[in-house]
Every structure is written in C-alpha cells, then in structure tokens.
Amino acid sequence: MIQYEGLQSKKVLVLGLAKSGVAAAELLHELGAFVTVNDAKPFDANPEAQELLSKGITVICGRHPEDLLDEGFEFVVKNPGIPYTNPIVADAVGRGLPVLTEVELAYLVSEAPFIGITGSNGKTTTTTIIFEMLQQGNLKPLIAGNIGTVACGVAAEAKADNVIVTELSSFQLMGTRDFRPRIAILTNLYEAHLDYHGTFEEYAEAKFCVTKNQTAEDYFIYNADQQIVVDYAKKSKAQLVPFTTKGRSETGISADAETIYWQGEAILNRVNIVLPGNHNLENILCAVAAAKLSNCPIEAIENVLATFVGVRHRTQFVREWQGRKMYNDSKATNVLATKSALTAFTAPIVLLAGGLDRGHSFEELREEMKGVKGVVAFGETALRFIEFAKSCGVENIVRAIDVEDAVGYAAKMSADGDIILLSPACASWDQHESFEIRGDLFIERVMKLS
C-alpha cells in the first residue's frame, strides 16, 4: 500500500461516520495521521464512534461545533452523503482546506488501478458483471463502492496486481481532486438527486468527474446514444470508447439484434445472453468493453453472459411458477427505472408498483404500460397509481396492503406465459426501511407459492 504523501502526523478531520467514515478513519489512523471524527449521532447511541475511540481516535459526537476547524486540520474527509452546503464543509472550502471523499482517499493510498463506473442507472449491474468477468478471467478483481466493501477497506488490502472495480455515485465523485481510474464508465445521464446537487448541471458535472483526470493512457467508455453524454465525452482526454445499441459501429463496442461488435468485428452472439432488457444490453456493452480493455479472455466474458441473471433487487429473476416468470426489481425506486424494466419484456406483464409518495408523476410510463395486463398497487401511491393505470387502459387493477399481499393478487391475476414484475417506481420508506427489505419480502412470498 502506498502512503498518501505527507500523511504521517497530519491532522485530519473525518466528517460523518457510517461505513465509509469508519473505513476512512481507520485507514488514516493506520497510516499515521492524527484523526478526529465528528458525527451527529450521540456517543451513547453510536457504536461506531465507541469502537474508533477504543482505537485511540479522537471522537466528537452529538453536535458539529462551529469552531471545529480551528483545531488546525490539514484536510477533511467527508461522508459522501454530506452536501457541500454543510456549514463545516463550506467553512473548510472557504479556508482552502482540501475536502476529500472516501473514494478519493482510497485512490491515493492504493497500489491497484481502478475501474470506475458511474451513471444515473445501471451502475450496480455493470460493476457486478465486470467483476464476474475479471474474476473468471483470473485477473484478481476486487469490488468496492456502493456495493461490497467501501473503497478504503478494499484499497487497504489491494496489491499492485489487483484491479479495484468501483461503483461510484455523484456524491462520491463530486469534489474529487486526483481520482483517476484507468478505465472510466459513464452509463447514462438523467435528472436525479437534485435535492443534493440543486441543478442538473451540477449533478452532471459531478458524474463527469469520473474522467476529468484521465489522460491518453486511460480509457473512457461512454453512452454514444445519449447526446448529453457525447457532449461531455468530448471534454475527456482519455481514449474514447463509445457504446451503442443501435447497430454495428466501427468504433468502440456496439450491438444489433443478433451480435455484439468490438471495433466493428463480431465477438459475441446475443442469443447466449440470459439477462433481459435493452437497458441491460447497455450495461453488458460497458462491461464487455471494460473486460476487453483489461485483457480478459473471451471465454470468461461468454461464460458470465450465459449465466448472469441479474443483481439482487435489479430485474432479478426469482423463479418460474405455473408458467409465470417472476422478477424482483425492488431497486426501481423511480419512474425511469421502472420504465427500463417494463421495456425488458415482450410477454404480458402483471406489474406490482407503489410506495412512498413524493408527488412525482407516472406519466413517463404511459407508453410502456401498453404491455401491462394487470396492476397490483400498494403503499402511499396506491390510489394515484391505480388512477394512472386506469387512464392507460389497464383493466385488471387491484389495491393490496403491501408487497407480500400483492404477490397473492398477482398470482391470481396472471396466466401461464405472463411476467410477474415487482418494479415499484417509488421508494420503499413508507412501509420498509430499504428497497432491499421490500425485495426480500417479495422473494420470500414468491417462494411460498405452491
């Protein structure tokens, strides 16, 4: 592991705990920094802070003192969820103190190169497929970021012959100073997280940070089917690798209805790919490009594509029951994600949808609702989704209490050959602490169908 230059005996503030803050604090402490952790949760109810204190790390909990930065810190590592409008973060920026994210710290201390994956949708699936391909290709990948272990935890153990495959959010990328992945991927850009970023422009700029430090020695894989991404790609100094699902291209990676092409040459037959949906084809193209650039054997790439059925809670195939195929897409916490899921299937769909009511419109789903034969709605948005489904001409509509109740209705409403799809288009927090819990309850109920 390479020590961050000048880190020994430096005074560092870690702002905010959770998994990323704990990992950053422990790594900094191990590398000889004098670490202070500040977290809003009271010490008595903060086991993470208690553990750090036992290791000799200074802990300030339950408040954010206004004069905190007067202690003479030389840089700040902030939790990705803390916005730059936070008073302490803003104060640090005003004083000219570097404000790093945990991912930036991981990059600075790691011997291993990074593959960085970002975008509005598809990050987790793309990251997972790349990891599986490189693993089958014996290329010693490690997976980090929003899935798996936080980046600092992985970087601390990584060796030079590893490669760190990292899912990156706009929160993690915003404000990065030196982060430079050897391969960067931007899957797509859609309006999201404006409550954090304020404007779409700031959100997009944060995403573009995945490539801003790349050079001609690096690669930038990007969505050539989305003009805003193409415009951003023109600013990159990396070798450009466009991907398109609109037919064969002589550059980058592309696909038509039957074949995947690399630099215009056919390399894979799509008939062997088991993961459904055009949105997943985009993810697959990104993953294949990254694997090819990493010198992954084509046999490893083919094996993964022939067996990978999806990431848990992301258009995840659960089981076939009495001729119906049942999918868990609980991660679809917004309309765009549900739209992508609906386009993945040609068979009639019974859609399970609903959840936290943020007042957003379902109108973007109207065209895709043509393939929906029935709707089971639940949660705070149940009545609104029912009215929307009626306006789309869906005749079979039922209101359920929750996702478990919805499975029983969907089973009765469906027929042999149908798709039963949980894709809520809403967050889960009206009834569940996370979309993972919602998805797990769906799976449990589906597995109990006799």
**CATH number for domain 11-97, candidates 2.102.10.10, 3.40.50.1110, 3.40.50.720, 3.40.718.10:** 3.40.50.720
Out of 86-95, 283-292, 417-426, least confident range: 86-95
Rounded CA separation 415/399 (Å): 19
120 belongs to an annotated ligand binding site? yes
Which band of pLDDT confidence, cut at 50, 70 and 90, is reported for residue 94? Answer: very high
Into which CATH architecture does domain 110-307 fall? Answer: 3-Layer(aba) Sandwich (3.40)
* Alpha-helix residue ranges (DSSP H) falling in 314-374: 335-342
For the range 327-330, what are the long-range contacts, defined as Cβ-Cβ under 8 Å and sequence gap of 24 or more?
Answer: 327/419, 327/420, 327/421, 327/422, 327/423, 328/422, 328/439, 328/442, 328/443, 328/446, 329/421, 329/422, 329/423, 329/424, 330/403, 330/422, 330/424, 330/428, 330/435, 330/436, 330/438, 330/439, 330/442
- φ, ψ at 99 (rounded to 5°): -115, 110
What is the average per-residue pLDDT within 69-97?
91
pLDDT tens figures, 315-363: 888 999 999 999 999 999 989 889 989 998 989 999 999 999 988 899 9
Q: Does pLDDT of 208 surpass 70?
A: yes
Structure tokens at 446: 């589906």
Rounded CA separation 300/306 (Å): 10
Which part of the chain is CATH 3.40.50.720? 11-97
125 belongs to an annotated ligand binding site? yes
* Whole-number Cα distances in Å, 167 to 127, 149, 172, 362: 6, 11, 10, 28
Helix (H, G, I), strand (E, B) or coil at 414: coil
Which part of the chain is CATH 3.90.190.20? 316-447
Average of per-residue pLDDT values in the chain? 93
pLDDT tens figures, 361-405: 999 999 999 999 999 999 999 999 999 999 999 999 999 999 999
Q: Does pLDDT of 3 surpass 70?
A: no
- Provide the CATH number for the domain formed by 316-447 in this structure: 3.90.190.20
- φ, ψ at 118 (rounded to 5°): -140, 175
Note the pLDDT of residue 368.
96
328 belongs to an annotated ligand binding site? no
- In the chain, % of residues over pLDDT 70: 97
Structure tokens at 430: 């009206």
121 belongs to an annotated ligand binding site? yes
pTM of the model: 0.81
Helix (H, G, I), strand (E, B) or coil at 400: coil
414 belongs to an annotated ligand binding site? no
One-letter amino acid of 75:
F
Which band of pLDDT confidence, cut at 50, 70 and 90, is reported for residue 309? Answer: confident
β-partners of residue 76 are 13, 99
One-letter amino acid of 65:
P
Pairing outcome for strands 239-244 and 419-422: unpaired
pLDDT tens figures, 264-281: 999 999 999 988 888 889
More confident residue, 360 or 219: 219
Which part of the chain is CATH 3.40.1190.10? 110-307
> Other CB atoms closer than 10 Å to residue 42's CB: what's the count?
11
